Amino acid sequence: MSKVKRFYLVISVIYGAVVLFIFAAEALAFTYLLSEKATLAEKKYYSEKLTEKQDILENLDSRYNEVKEDENIIYETLPEDKETSKLLSDLNTIASESKLKFSGVQVEIDPTKSSAKSQSDLSLLQTTKGKLAYELPLEVTVEGSYSNFLSFVQRVENYQRLLNIESIEIGQVVEEGIADNVQAEISLVAYLKK
């Protein structure tokens, strides 16, 4: 093999190696850029999600601050057991079905009872076999037409659980064009299992 052929062979090998190196570098750069683009897209996605969560938390924080001053009142009116919660939910449903506005409910605890045990038990029903249930005095306020109020009272009387309506105070609500709107405060006693 002549010197010229060897020279061209060496140049061809070097040229091939350079071309192969360039292709390999481009392939590595392309792969790197794709992974960087995917990483940036992932960071953008998580950044947007984080911003969204921060907005939700700020909204919840502002809503919490609105009700924070009423926190003790809310806590005191929430029932302590499932059964009471279902009773209050059912009373709200009965009011809605009777087309009345359920303005509020207040659980009454007799302040004359001194011990903490008697306040937590309220007044207990005594039977020959012992204590079966406790009384839960409630003050329910509803608003609507008088005929719908009568329907509400009838549904409460026919409610599946033992309820005793102690008193009803009815007042007229004056609204333009509506003559028979009333607001009623109903004192009732629910009997719940011990």
DSSP E strands in 35-129: the ranges are: 101-107, 124-127
Split at pLDDT 50, 70, 90, the class of 90 is confident
- Structure confidence at residue 177 (pLDDT): 67
Q: Is the pLDDT of residue 121 over 50?
A: no
For 128, the 3-state DSSP assignment is: coil
Q: How far is CA 179 from the centre of its chain?
A: 37
- Structure confidence at residue 160 (pLDDT): 77
pLDDT tens-digit series, residues 166-186: 999 998 877 766 667 889 999
In 3D space, the residue among 169, 178, 174, 164 whose CA is nearest the CA of residue 142 turns out to be 169
